[in-house]
A and B are shown apart, each in its own frame.
Chain A
Amino acid sequence: MKNFRLGWLAAAVAAAVLAACGGGGDGDQTPHVKYGKLVSFGDSLSDVGSYKVGVVAQLGGGKYNINGATGLNWTELLAAQAGVTAPCAAQTGLNAAAALGGPVPVANHSGCYGYAQGGARVTNPIGPANAALLALGDSSAALGQLTVPVVTQISNHLAAAGGSFAADDLVTVMAGGNDIFMNLAAVQGGATPDMAVAAMATAAGELAGYVKTQILAKGAKHVVVVNLPDVSTTPYGISLGAQTQGLILAMVNAFNARLSTDLAGQDVVYVDAYTVGQDQTQHPDQYGLTNVTTPACNLATMTLPTSLTCNASTLITGQTIDTHYEYADSVHPTPYGYRLLAQLVTDNLLKKGWL
């Protein structure tokens, strides 16, 4: 009897030890929400190739990033994490001047839901590098970005989708940066700083309004709104000097304050890229960043000095597409910078139970 019982004990111990030999693994990678597609509205930070035509394509560009197979922006990373197909540009085209190869006709692509366009503002249809600015003496406008504003991006989608969003759409909204650039240009043209700050608050109020009346009210159930990062500490902001940086900061704050106030209580995930972005600038080591003040793209030697045409062959010495520089050009992130933004977005989505 004793021997039998001891034998049973030994067998149980042996089983416990054997069970300890299992291996680890990926675990359950399935998101908690089943999404059908990602629909993105906004500007260059979300653009997945609206201008990947003509001269831009010839230069190996198309996204405001370091272009290449791993040069993904935050919406592309989010789509992959959410288990939906990679977003593609809903519209392509370029109103380039003859010196830049001439215009490429605008084409709309059904089945593509990446509406965000470089240069797009919230409401005003004329953003940076829009061909209409050539007449005002803005040479960068030779590129001829379409800059379809967010309000029109949304209405274009509603027109294509039968007037409403699908319940399983994951909708992203991030805009305001181009309203900064254009209002700042207005100050340089004679407008007062107070007018520029007020214009930013107005733009944010409009953006919040579109989210409520044109997105949430039209059936979208999972909407992510990313606020405006601190443009004043970008290489662009730094180049303008302390006084202008102060004005930019005031404009960014006016925009974000209004956006967050007007979206309070709404069933959206509001991502505070502003606060975390400032922390990245102040504590780059924490985020694995090696440079937060100068661009990784060698803008001085590029035909078009913008990340839109930046790729592995146009980087400064010693950097690759895997660089941990924050900025590709004067305002746009590197793939690593976008990854940090994507991580912030997924953190917020997980806390909401939406990922």
Chain B
Amino acid sequence: MKDTHTMKPSKKYLPGVAAALLALTAGAANAQSAGSLQVKIGVNQISPQVDSGNLSAPSQPNTKIDVKSATSAILSGTYMLTDHVSVEGYVGLPYKHDIVGDGTIAGVGKIGTVKQVSPTVFGQYRFLEANSKVRPYVGLGLTYAKFYGEEGTGALTALTNPGGPATRHKVDAAWGLSPQIGTTLLINDKWFVDASVIKTFLKTTTHLSTGQSISTKLDPLAFNLSIGYRY
């Protein structure tokens, strides 16, 4: 299997001498070299590392929230500007996070849910040679986190306006910087596996229909694993 895959493009694109050399390395002729385009599909788990502020008055002191992790599919495209420098865009399918009580209200359970998409554009530097089988990289991205589809729960209403109309909440969109480390592992000269860890520095504010608000540093850590194809 492996041989047929590696041999085929070699025949197609490369002169005979070079082809013989490349066949030995089971690598890829036009791996991550300047001008190449890659697309990836994978899964990404976003785990907010929440540092919550306190819910504004009227509230019990130290009323905080935590946001649980969520996993979804991601799609990404990478364009090699040079053999080492790339631009990569991430678009995830929507994530749905549970919001739970913390601090004084730890243990009250789920107080809401929120969906988000957080497209990110990275500038990356890739180490080693363009045709290396394993190729680590570092990146720095700009993330735009859009929150939507917020839903409350009976617990949120009970804590903020017991017996009253359901309390709703709204989470502000936010921009954040996203440092990244990752690596690619070539399967053959077309297909590869990519894994990366992304930390995003993200701060937002949630507004309640009761007029209260709470600011939170979400600072999520994301782990993703993708399979990619190079054109």
Contact = CB atoms under 8 A, between A and B. Distances in A.
A350 B148 CA distance: 26
Contacts of A339: 161-162
A26 to B, nearest CB: 4
A286 B152 contact: no
Interface string B164-208: 101011100000000000000000000000000000000000000
Nearest to A352: B107
Given A9-B39, A347-B108, A16 B92 contact: yes
A25 B160 CA distance: 16
B155 interface: yes
Interface residues of A, number: 51
A350 B159 contact: yes
A350 B94 contact: no
Interface in B138-166: 146, 148-164, 166
Given A350-B155, A351-B108, A25 B168 contact: yes
Kindly state the interface size class of chain B when it binds its partner.
35 or more
Interface stretch (B15-23, B28-36, B58-66, B124-132): B58-66
A80 interface: yes
A27 B108 contact: no
Nearest to A289: B58
Interface stretch (B45-53, B109-117, B213-221): B109-117
A286 B152 CA distance: 23
Interface string A290-311: 0000000000000000000000
Contacts of B59: 286-287
14 contacts: A5-B229, A16-B92, A24-B148, A29-B153, A72-B163, A80-B164, A288-B58, A339-B161, A342-B162, A343-B162, A346-B162, A347-B158, A351-B107, A355-B158
Interface of B: 39, 57-61, 75, 77, 91-94, 101, 104-105, 107-109, 112-113, 115, 117, 146, 148-164, 166, 168-170, 229, 231
Interface of A: 2, 5-6, 9, 12-13, 15-17, 19-32, 72, 76-81, 276, 279, 283, 285-289, 339-340, 342-347, 349-351, 353, 355
